């Protein structure tokens, strides 16, 4: 994260009481913990953090080549020799995470303005962002970027504090005991807000009481604390710990409180709230109706009342409260472009995060940034946009489209391709859609500019049926499986069949960014698509066809070899291409009985491989037939035993290392002793498990649409083709724009399948059509335009697969490509 503050590396070494080796005069503006997301390398201080499966020390040479010169390390062997890297500087410490937190604590102590510390199980980020919206007219607020609330995120957030600001809002999250004490020392909040005590991370604590006791350690330095008294345990523990020494202020729907809610009236997607505050009637209206949003808004309301903000101002600001975008979306744009939407906030910290996501898309596409004015930074316009220009140059952005009076006034500071507009309306009126071709377009704007209109103008597909893909959940699942592996075990990730329906290049980009070892596709064409999208890591073709061998060689794909004839044909292609020593992967059939060499084939295989130098064996692998079911464990153990024996025979005939892999997603969890050198991760990455530990995975994909029309049909009428939909009474039905051409299986017709609308399950009525379906709305209150969940977090795809008597693979892979994919990152 980047700060306006100047520190020298020598001064930081004194703060950290570390040993300084190298150049003492380097000036530090930013902190980095990730070699892949640097803004201005020669001004960055890299902390080489260590985890179970990663070690920042291993990237120091790579970082030096990128221009980083300042490092905090705990492994002295990672310090580069002075005679070759004399311009670099290293601070040697005992623990790099502790050092990062110590530097942040020192930085925090430089400022005396109010610091709000927000914690709780849910709602932290929403409350933080809404308070920013509500206060930014009166204060220059620095806040945590996105959900930076962890042991690493909090120090990076605190680093953003600067003299130009006069208030900070920092959120703090913990997942296990003895974490909050570290965050409390760093944040040192003067005001505390507790949102809600929910279920998150309950599994890591002995009780809710223990979790709460850990969370409220954040408030030790606070002068006063705001919370909801209706949560009895929260009230008891706060009062017990702080009741005699701090000012506790609370709100309630039923008890005596500083702010007591009298009425809540929700209609037309807005809620009117009336409350009594110190014997005075107060009222606000918010553009939300769900309970979580109402609770979060009331906590913010209490805070503004305590600040003695004028009632009319409070009403105006709450009435205009905007939804908080908790995620950045990746969509398909016009002209074969990719759109990244992050149009609900704009500041330097979130700009940095968005640009990192943009650069994560490995491609040769032109990079265009559409950026609005950035508000409430405390900087002069010249200083602010000079900094923005510097960041864009470092991130190799090709074009900027600036919208707003402020950024337009500083156009001369930008040396890249550029155009500027005073308002969004002017830009849209001047928009030529043909000017956007083969680009990555990052749309980054403050709420008041309503950049969603720009996104709508530039996106390719308008189909209201979408498949949302949660990239954070995918990374979570990847890290879960990594946690089950030895550090040396490599991972092959299956991205065949359009990444199980999730999309190919977007998923491959993410996996390459997170350093998986291999990708695997079914056919050569899938591998070519990935290579053309900038994917450079090894790719295995699991079902190579003879006619595709030249393509495989041209695009440096690595084929599975499963019998002698396919081996001989590939040898001929290599000879025609003049290529030698090409990597191949040998498939053994130990009991699945699809493709693969049998035991009696091994002698011929070894003979063929030993007599030529056209290829070498990169890996040997096999496929388990029943790793996900305990009833087949004896058979699985037999397969593994055969695999070991056959591999030993093959490997003994070659004097170079050959990797082995047999475990799939279920096998990784259930047979850890068979990891060998590599494993294959497939459906588990996408959040689907037919094995025992489904609760350890996060859902990745959600198929959603909306209600196009609602009509009331009498019991004498029928619904849909062949008049299969019959009614027992007059019934409200909803027509939704999804049909079997979208992958909504026709066997779900006539009550077999259900969809979720406003938390209720609604049966399909009549036959599913090619492009539309009808649902029974008898048991739900719904309006046209309401969201319809086909499957998702609260209605898993496994339910649909059971209704169809199939597996989740089939449901996911049959979702049509005409369904728009939206990729998002929290």
Instruction: Tell me what percent of the chain is helix, strand and coil, each rounded to the nearest 5.
Output: 35, 25, 40
**What b/e readout covers 286-299, taking b as 16+ CB neighbours within 10 angstroms?**
bbbeeeebbbbbbb
Cα–Cα separations (whole angstroms), residue 153 to 222, 232, 807: 21, 30, 39
The Cα–Cα gap between 405 and 380 comes to 14
708: number of Cβ within 10 Å: 15
Choose among 13, 1, 95: nearest CA to 48.
95
The Cα–Cα gap between 301 and 460 comes to 40
Choose among 445, 425, 237, 461: nearest CA to 338.
461
Q: Is 594 annotated as a binding residue?
A: yes
Choose among 585, 570, 658, 569: nearest CA to 622.
585
**Count of all residues that appear for the chain in the document:** 826
- Please give the structure tokens belonging to residue 162: 């600067």
Q: What letter does residue 597 receive in the DSSP assignment?
A: B
The Cα–Cα gap between 153 and 609 comes to 52
The Cα–Cα gap between 623 and 620 comes to 11
Choose among 726, 718, 707: nearest CA to 777.
707
Choose among 499, 463, 395: nearest CA to 744.
463
- Please give the structure tokens belonging to residue 746: 């026709």
The Cα–Cα gap between 46 and 39 comes to 12
The Cα–Cα gap between 402 and 373 comes to 8
455: number of Cβ within 10 Å: 20
- SS3 readout for 528-550: HHHHHCCCCCCEEECCCCHHHHH
Cα–Cα separations (whole angstroms), residue 292 to 229, 242, 317, 562, 756: 16, 26, 19, 55, 19
- SS3 readout for 372-417: ECCCCCCCCHHHHHHHHHHHHHHCCCCEEEEECHHHHCCHHHCCCE
The CA-based dihedral angle spanning residues 442, 445, 449, 453, taken in that order and rounded to the nearest 10 degrees: 30
Report the SS3 class of residue 51: coil
| Residue keyed to tokens 């053994």 | 588
The Cα–Cα gap between 521 and 528 comes to 10
The Cα–Cα gap between 301 and 298 comes to 5
Which residues are registered as beta bridge partners of 46? 32, 71
Choose among 120, 119, 121, 144: nearest CA to 132.
144
Q: Is 610 annotated as a binding residue?
A: no
The Cα–Cα gap between 409 and 633 comes to 70
Task: Decide if 721 is catalytic.
Answer: yes
Choose among 459, 531, 545: nearest CA to 495.
531
* Residue of 217, 282, 365, 496 marked catalytic: 496
424: number of Cβ within 10 Å: 20
Which residues are registered as beta bridge partners of 266? 271
The Cα–Cα gap between 195 and 164 comes to 28
- SS3 readout for 252-290: ECCCCCCEEEEEEEEECCEEEEEEEECCEEEEEEECCCC
* Residue of 176, 580, 638, 721 marked catalytic: 721
Q: Tell me if 237 sits within 8 A of 212, measured CB to CB.
A: yes
Choose among 650, 574, 576, 652: nearest CA to 612.
574
Binding residues for substrate: 594, 770
Binding residues: 594, 770
Residues designated as active site: 496, 721
């Amino acid at each position: 994260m980047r700060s306006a503050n100047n520190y020298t590396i020598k001064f930081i070494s004194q703060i950290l009481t570390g040993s300084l080796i190298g150049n003492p005069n380097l000036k530090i503006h930013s902190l980095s913990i990730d070699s892949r997301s640097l803004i201005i390398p020669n001004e960055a201080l890299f902390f080489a953090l260590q985890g179970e499966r990663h070690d920042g020390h291993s990237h120091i040479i790579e970082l030096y080549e990128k221009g980083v010169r300042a490092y905090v390390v705990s492994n002295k062997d990672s310090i580069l020799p002075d005679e070759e890297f004399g311009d670099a500087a290293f601070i040697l410490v005992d623990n790099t995470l502790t050092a990062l937190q110590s530097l942040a604590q020192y930085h925090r102590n430089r400022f005396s303005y109010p610091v709000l510390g927000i914690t709780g199980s849910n709602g932290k980020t929403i409350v933080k962002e809404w308070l920013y919206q509500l206060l930014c007219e009166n204060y220059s607020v620095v806040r945590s970027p996105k959900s930076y609330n962890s042991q690493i995120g909090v120090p990076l957030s605190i680093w953003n504090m600067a003299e130009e600001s006069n208030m900070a809002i920092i959120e703090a999250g913990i997942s296990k005991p003895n974490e909050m004490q570290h965050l409390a020392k760093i944040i040192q909040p003067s005001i505390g807000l507790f949102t809600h005590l929910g279920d998150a991370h309950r599994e890591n604590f002995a009780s809710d009481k223990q979790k709460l006791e850990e969370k409220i350690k954040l408030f030790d330095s606070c002068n006063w604390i705001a919370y909801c008294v209706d949560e009895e345990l929260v009230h008891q523990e706060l009062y017990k710990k702080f009741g005699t020494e701090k000012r506790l202020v609370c709100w309630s729907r039923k008890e005596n409180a500083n702010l007591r809610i009298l009425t809540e009236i929700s209609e037309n997607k807005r809620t009117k709230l009336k409350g009594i505050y110190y014997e005075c009637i107060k009222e606000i209206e918010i553009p939300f109706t769900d309970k979580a949003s109402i609770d979060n808004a009331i906590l913010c309301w209490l805070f503004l009342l305590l600040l003695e903000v004028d009632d009319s101002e409070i009403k105006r600001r709450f009435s205009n409260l905007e939804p908080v975008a908790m995620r950045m979306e990746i969509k398909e744009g016009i002209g074969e472009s990719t759109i990244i939407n992050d149009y609900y906030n704009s500041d330097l910290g979130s700009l940095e995060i968005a640009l990192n996501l943009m650069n994560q898309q490995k491609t040769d596409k032109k990079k265009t940034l559409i950026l609005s004015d950035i508000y409430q930074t405390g900087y002069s316009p010249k200083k602010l946009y000079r900094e923005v220009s510097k960041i864009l140059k470092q991130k190799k952005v090709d074009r900027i489209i600036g919208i707003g009076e402020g950024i337009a006034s500083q156009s001369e500071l930008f040396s890249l391709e550029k155009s500027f507009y005073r308002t969004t309306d002017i830009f849209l009126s001047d928009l030529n859609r043909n000017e956007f071709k083969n680009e990555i377009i990052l749309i980054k704007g403050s709420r008041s500019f309503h950049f969603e209109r720009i996104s709508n103008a530039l996106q390719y597909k308008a189909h209201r049926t979408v498949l949302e893909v949660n990239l954070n959940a995918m990374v979570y699942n990847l890290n879960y499986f990594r946690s089950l592996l030895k550090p040396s075990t490599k991972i092959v990730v299956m991205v065949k069949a359009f990444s199980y329906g999730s999309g190919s290049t977007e998923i491959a980009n993410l996996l390459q960014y997170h350093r998986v070892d291999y990708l695997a596709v079914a056919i050569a064409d899938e591998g070519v698509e990935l290579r053309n999208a900038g994917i450079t890591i090894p790719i295995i073709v699991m079902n190579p066809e003879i006619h595709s061998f030249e393509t495989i060689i041209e695009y440096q794909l690595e084929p599975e070899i499963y019998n002698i004839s396919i081996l001989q044909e590939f040898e001929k292609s290599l000879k025609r291409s003049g290529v030698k020593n090409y990597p191949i992967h040998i498939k053994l059939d130990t009991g699945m009985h699809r493709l693969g060499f049998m035991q009696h084939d091994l002698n011929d295989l070894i003979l063929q491989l030993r007599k030529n130098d056209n290829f070498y064996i990169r890996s040997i692998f096999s496929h388990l037939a029943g790793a996900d079911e305990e009833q087949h464990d004896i058979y699985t153990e037999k397969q593994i035993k055969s695999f070991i024996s056959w591999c030993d025979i093959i490997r003994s005939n070659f004097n170079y290392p050959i990797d082995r892999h047999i475990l799939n997603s279920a096998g990784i969890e259930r047979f850890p002793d068979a990891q060998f050198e590599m494993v294959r991760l497939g459906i588990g990455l996408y959040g689907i498990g037919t094995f025992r530990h489904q609760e350890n995975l996060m859902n990745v994909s959600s198929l959603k649409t909306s209600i196009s029309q609602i009509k009331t049909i009498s019991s004498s009428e029928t619904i849909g083709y062949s008049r299969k939909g019959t009614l027992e009474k007059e019934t409200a039905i909803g027509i939704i724009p999804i049909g079997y051409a979208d992958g909504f299986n026709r066997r779900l017709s006539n009550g077999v399948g259900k969809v979720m609308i406003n938390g209720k399950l609604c049966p399909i009525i009549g036959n599913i059509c090619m492009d539309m379906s009808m649902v029974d709305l008898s048991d739900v209150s719904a309006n046209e335009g309401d969201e319809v969940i086909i499957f998702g977090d609260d209605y898993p795809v496994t339910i649909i697969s059971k209704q169809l008597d199939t597996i989740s693979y089939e449901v996911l892979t049959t979702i049509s490509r005409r369904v728009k994919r939206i990729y998002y990152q929290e």
